[in-house]
Amino acid sequence: MSKRILVTGFKGEENSSRVFLEQLSKEYIEPFLFSNDYTLIYDEIDGLFPDKKYDYVFMFGQKPVLGQLSLELKCRCKKQVMYTNFPVESLKKSLDYCSIKYWFSESPGTSYCNFLYWNALKCLEARELDTKVIFIHIPYLEKFEEMEKVVSFFNTYLKQLVTRK
Q: What is the mean pLDDT of residues 60-84?
A: 91
Q: Is the Cα dihedral 91, 88, 59, 69 positive or negative? A: negative
Start-to-end C-alpha separation, the chain: 8
**Residue 165 CB-half CA count within 13 A:** 0
Residue 25: CA count within 13 A, CB half-sphere: 13
Tell me what pLDDT residue 110 has. Answer: 67
Closest CA to 161 of 19, 58, 13: 58
Given a cut of 90, is residue 2 above it in pLDDT? no
119: phi then psi, degrees, rounded to nearest 5: -70, -35
Any residues with CB less than 8 A from the CB of 47 and at least 6 apart, and which?
none
CATH for 12:
3.40.630.20
Buried b (16+ CB within 10 A) or exposed e, 44-70: bbeebbeeeebbbbbbbbbbeebebbb
Write out pLDDT tens, residues 124-152: 999 989 999 999 999 999 999 999 999 99
Mean pLDDT in residue range 27-43: 93
Residue % of the chain over a pLDDT of 90: 76
The strand pair at 5-10 and 56-63 is best described as parallel
Range of the domain at 90: 5-163
Per-residue pLDDT band at 53 (split at 50, 70, 90): confident
Model pTM score:
0.94
DSSP letter, residue 23: H
Q: 69 with 150: CB under 8 angstroms?
A: yes
Q: What is the pLDDT of residues 85-136, one digit of tens each?
A: 999 999 999 999 999 999 999 877 768 899 999 999 999 999 989 999 999 9
- How many domains, the chain? 1
